[in-house]
Amino acid sequence: SGSPRVSHVDVAIIGAGPAGCMAADVLSRYTDRGLSVRVFDKRSAKLDNGQADGINSRTLEIFESLGFVESIDKEGSRMSEINFWNPDPETGRLIRTGKIPDTIPGLSRFQQTILHQGRVEAHLLEDAAKHSKGAIVPERSMLPESLDVDESLVSDLDAYPITLAVRHLSDDESNPNGYAGDAAGTRSGLFRSSLLSAEEEEALYHQNGAHAERVEVVKAKYLVGCDGAHSWTRRQLGIKMVGDQTTFVWGVLDMIPLTNFPDIRMRCAVHSANAGSIMVIPQERDLVRLYIQLPIQVRPGERADKSQFTPDFILETARKVLHPYTLETEHIEWYTGYHINQRLTNSFGVHNRVFLAGDACHTHSPKAGQGMNTSMQDTWNLCWKLGAVATGIAKHELLQTYSDERQVVAQQLIDFDKKFSKLFSGKPSAADDLDDGVDLKEFKDVFVAGNRFGAGMSINYADSSVVGKDGSKGGIQSKQHLAANLPVGERFYSAQVVNQASATADQLTTRIPFTGAFRLLVFPGDVTKPAAMDRLIKLADYLDGPDSVVSEYTPANLPRWSVVDPITIHCAPRTAVELYDFPQPSIFYPHNYKRIFADEPSYHRGDGKAYETYGISKEEGAIVVVRPDQYTGLVVGLEDTDLLDEYFARILRPAKDGGFPASKVDKVSPPDWSKVAH
């Protein structure tokens, strides 16, 4: 009875898995600028075990940017080495045939770590609640019922073109029995696995009767569908998943093993002669995950019978693969089964108003540890753009770069997974059947080559309004040679620098955490040389002027560094210059002691050699523009202020209130130098 409640929100998120939780956390940074966000999930409770567990280097860098990588590192189980086990060609007995480092040394400051998905989601949500002062908390037991997009409103940025009806479920409607453990406390993941069809999964969330008062109508400006592989949002939009279903069927056990297999605390790829393969993943809390290839045949287009997937059956199969090593267990915490599907949607959303992210637009096998990482990185890419557009900072067209950038990544992921899972699921080739079997040398080579990809480091976004590479797709042309080792379109990486004001060694990335701002990293060279200092002063005159990218795009009610944030890294000896030698306010912002750094040796942590690391000449210098999501967007010279103007004019909207001129900032007067002791 009664009519449904109607409410309004800027951004609605459907699904609180890794993609939805990352979206919530990124958007939480815009709530103090008035952005409203709601997150709906049909499940009544958060995930507390199982599912994804591998966090790659790139995701850890993102967590650093968000400010909580230390907690993840403390809780997780770091992976250092991969061991390969294969049948001895002579005897067929399982032997260790090689080892490689788990993350290529030098690739990132962070190495792959293992922590289960539920904990990752919890960290993101805690952070979102903190930054939104409690405003963003997922609303659980909320099932969307209808979605309508009014096309006549999509180009009006103040309109709410999306109408979403959501039903409040009761506890028993939103808590499928399958989540409860069995008598031994073993939980099943079959209820979330790819073995279920969308209809079967939906039937778990039965709706008892049509109570109109339990339906709420939400009018939204934007909607992000993060509702997983069976995405309801995707089906409402009529977007299809295309791709293949393989015949490979795998089981997963998270357990405390009792074994004499010597590498049980290593990541291992084990290929037995005739009993299939196993991947070993050492987890947190002394748990170990085994991915086990199962002797189950599924014909194309059919689904595997779920009743075959019991913990005993999966364990028994594992024993055969690991033979002659023993395998018993004290406790199985979680198990599941899956059938590998490699699929991708042909669209990541509609009208740049409704977006799909995560498993809703790409599915593949879990063994390469990419799903959770890619899903979070999807919304990491989308949501700074969405935050900036929805708060009036950026132009609506910026949103188009989300699908342009992430669709390419998703396709690369599917291609990689096809190769990887085929090699993993195949039988080792005997000397006489090279054509059929898996060449174990090739397997190891793919593993090594895949390492950079798997770490999330091979992403290179194409030219666009936000990636000024070569101008081929609407971007502007960078002067890449000025920072030869910072390829435009790739993720910006850290180098150690020394704070001019405090003499403290700092990683540059910790100085540029996620705030939604673009960073202008200014490398003026050796500022004790008059030419270098002149160049810096000229740049400062521009930045302090009323039409600079800082003055024009920053609303007067925000801090002056919240849209375009200049940070200076010079390479003069720190003690040869004073903080007060630097021009105010755009370069040395009064009383802000974290914007000027020196590239020199530190007292306790060695020499970061930032200029050398980045390939920047100490004579020429450079300006490197880093996007809010830590990808290099543009490289130009210190005098190229016209290129800065052009770059930002394509992305940002001039502040409605006329901007934030430098004249509004009170400079500090330098100290009386005659009284400063030497």
Q: Which is nearer to ligand FAD, 293 or 375 (CB)?
A: 375
Instruction: Look up residue 467 and give its DSSP letter.
Output: B
Burial 570-592 (b: 16+ CB within 10 A, else e): bbbebeebebebbbbbbbbbeee
Q: Which stretch in 81-89, 370-378, 383-391, 480-488 sits in contact with ligand FAD by CB under 6 A?
A: 370-378
d(CA 200, CA 202): 5
Contact residue for ligand FAD among 29, 38, 42, 58 (CB under 6 A): 42
Q: Which is nearer to ligand FAD, 145 or 397 (CB)?
A: 145
* Shortest CB 336 distance to ligand FAD, Å: 5
Q: Which is nearer to ligand FAD, 116 or 535 (CB)?
A: 116
Q: If binding is defined by CB under 6 A, does position 41 make contact with ligand FAD?
A: yes
Do the Cβ atoms of 408 and 462 come closer than 8 Å?
A: yes
Q: Which is nearer to ligand FAD, 405 or 552 (CB)?
A: 405
Residue with tokens 């018993």: 328
Q: If binding is defined by CB under 6 A, does position 356 make contact with ligand FAD?
A: no
Q: Which is nearer to ligand FAD, 207 or 504 (CB)?
A: 207
* Shortest CB 487 distance to ligand FAD, Å: 25
Contact residue for ligand FAD among 10, 25, 53, 463 (CB under 6 A): 53
Q: If binding is defined by CB under 6 A, does position 358 make contact with ligand FAD?
A: yes
Q: 41 Cβ partners below 8 Å, 6+ apart? A: 14, 15, 16, 20, 138, 139, 140, 141, 142
Q: If binding is defined by CB under 6 A, does position 633 make contact with ligand FAD?
A: no
In angstroms, what CA-CA distances link 603 with 466, 498, 525? Answer: 38, 9, 22
Q: If binding is defined by CB under 6 A, does position 370 make contact with ligand FAD?
A: yes
Q: If binding is defined by CB under 6 A, does position 116 make contact with ligand FAD?
A: no
Q: If binding is defined by CB under 6 A, does position 117 make contact with ligand FAD?
A: yes
d(CA 62, CA 29): 14
Q: Which stretch in 367-375, 513-521, 529-537, 639-647 sits in contact with ligand FAD by CB under 6 A?
A: 367-375
In angstroms, what CA-CA distances link 351 with 149, 355, 399? Answer: 9, 9, 9
* Shortest CB 262 distance to ligand FAD, Å: 23
Q: Which is nearer to ligand FAD, 19 or 662 (CB)?
A: 19
Restricting to residues 141-170, which ones interact with ligand FAD according to CB under 6 A? 143-144
d(CA 416, CA 438): 16
Q: If binding is defined by CB under 6 A, does position 373 make contact with ligand FAD?
A: yes
Residue with tokens 């002394």: 286
* Shortest CB 236 distance to ligand FAD, Å: 10
Count of positions on this chain that bind ligand FAD (CB under 6 A): 36
Q: Which is nearer to ligand FAD, 218 or 572 (CB)?
A: 218
Q: Which stretch in 39-47, 94-102, 526-534, 582-590 sits in contact with ligand FAD by CB under 6 A?
A: 39-47
Q: Which stretch in 150-158, 272-280, 364-372, 487-495 sits in contact with ligand FAD by CB under 6 A?
A: 364-372
Backbone angles phi, psi at 452, to 5 degrees: -65, -45
Q: 3-state DSSP call for residue 221?
A: strand
Task: Residue 656: count other Cβ atoms within 10 Å of its Cβ.
Answer: 9
Burial 417-451 (b: 16+ CB within 10 A, else e): bbebbbbbbbbbeeeeeeeeebebeebbebbeebb
* Shortest CB 298 distance to ligand FAD, Å: 17
Burial 480-500 (b: 16+ CB within 10 A, else e): bebbeebbbbbbbbbbbbbbb
* Shortest CB 138 distance to ligand FAD, Å: 9
127 token code pair = 């952070």
86 token code pair = 């294969």
Contact residue for ligand FAD among 87, 311, 366, 426 (CB under 6 A): 366
Q: 3-state DSSP call for residue 118?
A: helix
Q: 515 Cβ partners below 8 Å, 6+ apart? A: 29, 562, 565, 628
Compute the residue count for the chain. 678
Contact residue for ligand FAD among 12, 18, 522, 644 (CB under 6 A): 18
Residue with tokens 């040869």: 576
Q: Which is nearer to ligand FAD, 224 or 634 (CB)?
A: 224
Do the Cβ atoms of 151 and 37 come closer than 8 Å?
A: no
Do the Cβ atoms of 539 and 14 come closer than 8 Å?
A: no
Q: If binding is defined by CB under 6 A, does position 372 make contact with ligand FAD?
A: yes
Restricting to residues 227-256, which ones interact with ligand FAD according to CB under 6 A? 227-228, 232, 252
Restricting to residues 180-209, which ones interact with ligand FAD according to CB under 6 A? 193
* Shortest CB 257 distance to ligand FAD, Å: 17
Restricting to residues 207-226, which ones interact with ligand FAD according to CB under 6 A? 226
Contact residue for ligand FAD among 11, 13, 19, 196 (CB under 6 A): 19
Q: If binding is defined by CB under 6 A, does position 52 make contact with ligand FAD?
A: yes
Positions touching ligand FAD (CB under 6 A) are 14-20, 40-43, 51-54, 117, 143-144, 193, 226-228, 232, 252, 336, 338, 358-360, 366, 369-373, 375
